[in-house]
Amino acid sequence: MANTLETQIMERAEIWLNGAYDDATKKEVQNLIDNNKKELEDSFYKNLGFGTGGLRGIMGVGSNRMNVYTVGMATQGLANYIKLNFTDEQIKVAIAYDSRNNSKLFADRVADIFASNGFIVYLFDDLRPTPELSFAIRELNCHSGVVITASHNPKEYNGYKAYWNDGAQVTAPHDTNIIDEVAKISSIDQILTGKNSENISILDEKFDKIYLDRIKNKVSLSPAEVAQFSDMKIVYTPIHGTGVKLVPDSLRNFGFTNIITVPEQCIIDGNFPTVASPNPEERSTMKMAIELATKEGAELVMATDPDADRIGIAIRDNNGEYVLLNGNQTCVLLTYYLCRRWSDLGKINGNQYIIKTIVTSEMIAEIAKAFNIEYYDCLTGFKYIAEIIRNNEGTAKEYIGGGEESFGFLPGDFVRDKDGVSSCSLVAEAAAWAKSNNTTLFDLLKELYVEFGFFKEGLVSVVKKGKDGQEEIAEMMLQYRANPPKTICGSDVVTIKDYQSGEVLDVKNGNKTSMEIETSNVLQFITLDGTIISVRPSGTEPKIKFYFGVRTSLTSIEKFDEQNAVLDSKIEQMKKELNLV
């Protein structure tokens, strides 16, 4: 078996040495053959998979790496599929890219290939947030689109997200059908290039204004409160990414005037030199922004990841210290703010709905019920939120907002992916609204815990890199299915949801029922006391993720610290029981 794999690796490498690849690429492949067999294996042991969301991988030479050739083959496969679906139309596509190394190079290659296939191409003149690409597809009536980004992955990664004509990342049946078409591109000689450059049109700041004005008109609910506290100090960092211009511009468009940016992190740099990881989930990534906020006495700290679809928020507690909210807390605050303001403005008539993912706080459901708003659960990934929005189009149902624990939120349906630009503006507006009601976002969150229940969540990501890591993750999921935990923190596991089989097991009586949801490699263990543990391999990173959800009652704000410590202790105990610490 090992010899067979080694032979396959060498066969793939030989194709790159002898095919129509550039000289620098061939030189690097030869260097791997001569000097780095392990890297050669990881670079060629498979083709970089065009998954249900597109490509994501480490940049470098080889069939399992992000480079102009793997990007080109994916693009030609996507182009072929688009042509199969829109046979009698002039096909239009939009392309955007983030601040990562090689993103512009890859975007230009995608534009060239689409144009060579006869498509009208809208290419942004510089880096832009992912949500603006989604907006552009809808606004320009495009049939598809691509954004070059690896979101918040480490600097060695890049990626390629494919979108359909509704502005959302592709879902069934298009996702698997595109994969099939990409698989048919077996050689770079099948890629069309160098034709019809006149088909490429450039989108510039004039299009930005359309996007920003749409955010203001569709998202803002409290303009009077913003005007009252327009000089509220806000510190923002784009973490060297695409939010550098549009997030401050959107905040100013809402009416905020005192926006302070972190100058060192406003420098566009795909090496992300000031952070270990460009992930706003991590406090170390927010360190410079929090330090600046402390110096300036800011009330709110915000960050976006490199493609500005995720947001990180820090707010001051009662001691004046900055507390970094997790994605669930941000989602809870924004969901409550939207529901509350829609209710105050008389906009709720029973047709409204919100959406959360299956690993996002159950507190969202409690808020929705209190306001007579329908809520949906969906699989992890914003494309599933967009799919529900699409399925409800043409009905009386009206989307308010939706989010996921991984720091993504979308207010309004004019974009069909998580939107850090509009979400930052909404967070700032919610802070101004809270201030007009003589409270803060921190105190508001505690009040919500008293009203709806104290829900707390935790997350552990176990990294398993390369081919061996993939196999380890698969074995872990196999073992959890074969030998699920019987108790968690002393509470019996009463329900097991297996989203891969689509079945819910009642542990006590052994009965199984079906779930009406798309299948996915996810397990959930639910205990008698309402604790939920979810286990899923990441679809975009070499990780297996463990999500913990616990809850209790909070009888008063004064008991917050005490109950918070109890819930933290319970989450830590669960980690120990699963050998994760």
Hey, which residues are catalytic here?
Answer: 151
Separation of alpha carbons 531 and 510, rounded Å: 20
CA angle 96, 63, 32 (to 5 degrees): 120
Separation of alpha carbons 237 and 383, rounded Å: 26
Distances from the Cα of 109 to the Cαs of 16, 72, 134, 314, 461, in angstroms?
19, 7, 20, 38, 34
Residues paired with 54 in a beta bridge: 51, 161
- Sign (positive/negative) of CA torsion 48, 51, 55, 59? negative
In the three-class reduction of DSSP (H, G, I as helix; E, B as strand; rest coil), residue 145 is classed as strand
C-alpha count within 13 angstroms, C-beta hemisphere, residue 201 = 12
Instruction: Find where tokens 């029981």 sit.
Output: 577
275's tokens: 């952070």
| Of 111, 181, 104, nearest in space to 148 by CA | 104
Strand 491-498 vs strand 523-527: parallel, antiparallel, or unpaired?
antiparallel
Residue 200 · residue 94 · CB < 8 Å: no
277's tokens: 């990881």
174's tokens: 């298009």
Q: Cβ–Cβ contacts within 10 Å for residue 115, how many?
A: 22
451's tokens: 């009203």
Does 173 sit behind a cis peptide bond, omega within 30 degrees of 0 on the bond before it? yes
Q: What DSSP character marks residue 445? A: H
Separation of alpha carbons 65 and 63, rounded Å: 6
| Of 128, 90, 125, 129, nearest in space to 111 by CA | 125
Separation of alpha carbons 486 and 494, rounded Å: 8
End-to-end alpha-carbon separation of the chain, Å?
35
| Of 487, 476, 509, 488, nearest in space to 575 by CA | 488
Residue 493 · residue 525 · CB < 8 Å: yes
Q: Cβ–Cβ contacts within 10 Å for residue 335, how many?
A: 30
Residue 417 · residue 169 · CB < 8 Å: yes
Separation of alpha carbons 10 and 44, rounded Å: 8
The residue type found at 82 is: I
Separation of alpha carbons 184 and 78, rounded Å: 11
Q: Cβ–Cβ contacts within 10 Å for residue 546, how many?
A: 19
Residue 130 · residue 107 · CB < 8 Å: no
Which residues touch 478 (CB under 8 Å, ≥6 apart)? none
Separation of alpha carbons 413 and 164, rounded Å: 15
